Amino acid sequence: RRAGVVGRLRACEPANPWCEAQIGEYRGFIKRTDIWGVGTSEEVK
Return phi, psi of residue 11, to 5°: -160, 145
Q: pLDDT tens, 1-45?
A: 678 888 899 998 888 999 999 998 999 999 988 888 877 788 877
Q: How far is CA 32 from CA 17, 19, in A?
A: 5, 6
Whether 9 contacts 44, CB under 8 Å: yes
Return phi, psi of residue 38, to 5°: -110, 120
Q: What is the reported pTM?
A: 0.71
Helix-strand-coil split of the chain, %, nearest 5? 5, 40, 55
